[in-house]
Amino acid sequence: MYIMNAVCFIVVVMVISCYGNKTNTQKGSYTLKLENANYEELRSMFMKIKGTGQGMGEHQEKFSAFAVSLTDPKTLGVGQIVKFNKVWTNINKDYHASTGVYTAPIAGVYQFSCSVMTVSSNTLRVSLWKNDTKTVSIFPGNTGHNMGTLNMVLELKKGDKVYIKQGGSDKYIYSESDSNFSMFSGYLIR
């Protein structure tokens, strides 16, 4: 919103400036003196903000984000990748619900987050993996309803895989279809 206001302000200033630079070509007729370079600069700024020229438009085509959750509780197998089945957002379809794996579409810096719940005397340990490397883990505990959350910023290359994987003997993950307690998300920062 602020950007659009700034662009409108710039356009108004340029138009006022042009009217201030009127030249008399014939008696009673005027032409606006707007140099081609100024026009092209204004056009370029407008296209970038609108998202159809270079800049924002290019970034949007490469942008990637996803948000997924579980709809039911699960007892995971040892070393099993968690397949979050409810897809809320999947820009450019880089998260694959059938495998539970997110694939980086381009090299860049990404933010990932995962929250999981376990209940009663059940326990859970999961980790965020980048390709074959475990990065961070969470262990929500084993009394009552326990939540655990992990957040991580990772530098990825195109084609790198990121996923949530069960670890150890702790393997009960809880969720409900109307509450979506357990979720996983990520997006390209730059």
How far separated are the first and last CA of the chain, in Å rounded? 22
Ordered domains of the chain (ranges, CATH):
2-24+32-60 (no CATH), 63-188 (2.60.120.40)
Determine the Cα–Cα distance for residues 101 and 5; give it in Å rounded to an integer: 41
* Count of Cβ atoms closer than 10 Å to residue 114 Cβ: 24
Query: Is a pLDDT exceeding 50 seen at residue 19?
Result: no
Choose between 9 and 152: higher pLDDT. Answer: 152
Closest alpha carbon to 110 in 91, 138, 82, 132? 91
Work out the average pLDDT over 134-141: 90
List Cβ neighbours of 26 (8 Å cut-off, separation of 6 or more).
Answer: none
Taking the whole predicted model, whether its pTM rises above 0.85 is answered as no
- pLDDT at position 172 is 86
Phi/psi for 118 (5° steps) reads -135, 160
- pLDDT at position 2 is 46
For 63-115, the pLDDT digits (tens) are 999 999 999 999 998 999 999 999 999 999 999 999 999 999 999 999 999 99
Q: 69 near 88, Cβ under 8 Å?
A: yes
